[in-house]
Amino acid sequence: MAKLAPSILSCDFSRLREQLLEAWEGGAEIIHVDVMDGHFVPNLTFGPLIVEAVRKVLPEAFIDVHLMMDNPRAFVRDFAQAGADLISFHAEAVQDFDAVLQDIARVGKKSGLALCPGTPLTILDHVLGKLSLVLLLTVNPGFGGQKFISGMEEKIRALRRRIQEKGLRVEIAIDGGVKEENIEFLASCGASIIVAGSLVFSAQDIRGTVRRLSERIRAY
């Protein structure tokens, strides 16, 4: 059953509490937090204090923190203590995956590996069984509101086949370019978590939008 993960990158931060509560009341179980360092990607976003704020507003939510940064090891403990449930880091940012995975395990959190659109799935060959989630970026990282990159649906399908062939229980999350017209298609390709930012938080009725989108992907 695919789930929707609203991304606070598109929140109105003057109304953060209100919008988080509306998303939660609409049925969102996962809140996605994009952390950008201004180096790995050309944008700068949130630190642990924002995760802490989300946790205070939604104590029961599953908080998925996506670290788009050059040195994720330096911040794993800070985001864990702030309230993250799962921490994803980028395959392109580190050489020693196991070291970061051990850091995440040491603080008692689930781990995810994020892949940019051009990064091949072969990079997962020796690490897939150690992950709770693979996050496939379906736009180039750094900014919200971009268009879904055509052809990424094949990457989603290929990863789903690989996970099934190995008999693993690894979630596939996709992030970028999710729209009303493609959300069901993306779920049908094998995505089990669909991150949506502007589609959710730019809506006039956030609560109703989350409920409607969640119902549309629940069957997959």
**Catalytic, out of 70, 98, 175, 205:** 175
18-64: pLDDT as tens digits: 999 999 999 999 999 999 999 998 888 999 999 999 999 999 999 99
**Catalytic, out of 34, 37, 64, 103:** 34
63-82: pLDDT as tens digits: 999 999 999 999 999 999 99
Contact 39, 63 (CB under 8 A): no
Number of H helices, E strands in the chain: 8, 8
How far is C-alpha 67 from the chain's CA centre?
10
Domains observed in the chain: 3-217 (3.20.20.70)
163-211: pLDDT as tens digits: 999 999 999 999 999 999 999 999 999 999 999 999 999 999 999 999 9
Q: What are phi and psi of 218, to 5 degrees?
A: -65, -30
Identify the pLDDT of residue 141: 76
Active site residue 37: no
Active site residue 34: yes
DSSP designation for 44: B
Strand partners, 3: 193
